Amino acid sequence: MIVSAKGRYALRVMIALAARGKSGPVPLKELTAEEEIPHKFLEQIMTELVKAGLVESARGKNGGYLLTRPPEECTAADILRVTEASLASAECTEGGECPRAEICPTLPMWKALDEAIDDVLKNYTLADLLSG
């Protein structure tokens, strides 16, 4: 699995929002400048994060984006599941039926790797990432 730029940017912007705490909505323009993410690309990412319920948008003069839950309750897995097509280590573990599954000597290894990746991503919250 290789995390895309979209996934890395989504993590960065979510950490930036977590760092603001409850100081109010953060304008997209501000996030774009601080995180050095292209404006149009960040717009797309934020739309996906809003649809997934991880952030909410506020319109108007003082509008922007806010986290919908505390940083301690939002994991890297939550975020990357929104932005990545798959977190699988191999095509055969993406949920489809592999015709060789019953005789494949490597399938248990790929499944174990997927579980390890998932465990790591589920164990890092925004609060963890924020504190470094």
Query: What integer pLDDT is reported at residue 60 of this predicted model?
Result: 86
CA distance 129 to 78: 14
Query: What integer pLDDT is reported at residue 79 of this predicted model?
Result: 98
CATH of the domain at 12: 1.10.10.10
Is the CB of residue 50 less than 8 Å from the CB of residue 80? no
Q: Is 90's pLDDT higher than 90?
A: no
Query: What integer pLDDT is reported at residue 47 of this predicted model?
Result: 97
Residue 109 belongs to what domain range?
5-131
Number of compact structural domains in the chain: 1
Query: What integer pLDDT is reported at residue 16 of this predicted model?
Result: 97
Q: Global pTM?
A: 0.91
Is the CB of residue 80 less than 8 Å from the CB of residue 7? yes
Q: Is 102's pLDDT higher than 90?
A: no
Confidence of residue 23 (pLDDT cuts 50, 70, 90): confident
Query: What integer pLDDT is reported at residue 119 of this predicted model?
Result: 97
SS3 state of residue 40 = helix
